[in-house]
Every structure is written in C-alpha cells, then in structure tokens.
C-alpha cells in the first residue's frame, strides 16, 4: 500500500516568484510518481510523471519535479509563476508492478494562489 502527504494545503505566491509544492510518499514497493493540476471547473490534467531514469522530470507549463528516493519526496517546482497557474495541485503515486499502474493514491491537494 502507498500513501502521499502534501505538506502544504495552501501556498500563496506573487506573480513571477518561484514556487515549490512539497510531496512525500510512503511505499513498500517501487513506485511511479505523478503531479496533476485541477483548474476551477475542469478535470484533472497530468503535469508530469516519473517512471524511471533521470530523477529530474520536466512537464507542461514550465513545471518540473525531482524524485528523491532517499527522502521519499517528489517536490514540484516552477521558477516563475503566472496568474494562470492558480489551481489545485495533486501529487499521486502508484506501484510500479504491472497490476498497479492506474491505481493511483492521491495526496489531499495544494491550492496554489498566484497574486498580481
């Protein structure tokens, strides 16, 4: 079984400032890691995912995340945010076994609010 903890429920930031949304996970097996974004009145949209290989993963809209196995973390970063990045962000994990993909365990979400 896996669990995900998003350490901040809300993150306010000014436009053009950098931001980091923190995510820690717990698992007894190897994992795949994901970040999804949910804009108001829209469905979840995949930002990026880590499956294997390079621990630095680049996604859409200028976001990136780094997988740190020793710290069991997968923090999301963006060097300069825009007003349009205001949304709720979810970190998720699944086991890497063939029968586990798609069975995602989500964190509780972090609401990112970008102020002008």
Partner 1 sequence: GAGVSQTPSNKVTEKGKYVELRCDPISGHTALYWYRQSLGQGPEFLIYFQGTGAADDSGLPNDRFFAVRPEGSVSTLKIQRTERGDSAVYLCASSLERSPGNTIYFGEGSWLTVV
The yes or no reply on residue 28 touching partner 1 (CB under 8 A) is no
Q: Which of 44, 59, 66, 113 binds partner 1 (CB under 8 A)?
A: 44
C-beta of 52 vs 116, nearer to partner 1: 52
Site for partner 1 in 85-104 (CB under 8 A): 90, 92, 96, 98-99, 101-104
The yes or no reply on residue 113 touching partner 1 (CB under 8 A) is no
Counting beta carbons within 10 angstroms of the beta carbon of residue 33, is it exposed (0 to 12), middle (13 to 18) or buried (19 or more)? Answer: buried
C-alpha to C-alpha distance for 83 and 80, rounded to whole angstroms: 10
Structure tokens at 67: 């997988």
Site for partner 1 in 48-67 (CB under 8 A): 49, 51
Q: How far is the CB of 33 from partner 1 (least distance, A)?
A: 11
Q: Which of 46, 56, 60, 83 binds partner 1 (CB under 8 A)?
A: 46
Burial 91-113 (b: 16+ CB within 10 A, else e): bbbbbeeeebeeebbebebbebe
Structure tokens at 9: 């429920």
Please identify which residue in the block is written with the tokens 């509780």.
108
Give me the residues that bind partner 1 (CB under 8 A), please: 4, 32, 36, 41-46, 49, 51, 90, 92, 96, 98-99, 101-109
């Amino acid at each position: 079984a896996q669990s995900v903890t998003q350490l901040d429920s809300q993150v306010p930031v000014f436009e053009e400032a950098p931001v980091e949304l923190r995510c820690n996970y717990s698992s007894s097996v190897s994992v795949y890691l994901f970040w999804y974004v949910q804009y108001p009145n829209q469905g979840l949209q995949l930002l990026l995912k880590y499956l294997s290989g390079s621990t630095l993963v680049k996604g859409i809209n200028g976001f990136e995340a780094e997988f740190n196995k020793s710290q069991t973390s997968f923090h999301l970063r963006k060097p300069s945010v825009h007003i349009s990045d205001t949304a709720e962000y979810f970190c998720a994990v699944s086991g890497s076994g063939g029968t586990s993909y798609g069975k995602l365990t989500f964190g509780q979400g972090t609401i990112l609010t970008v102020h002008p």
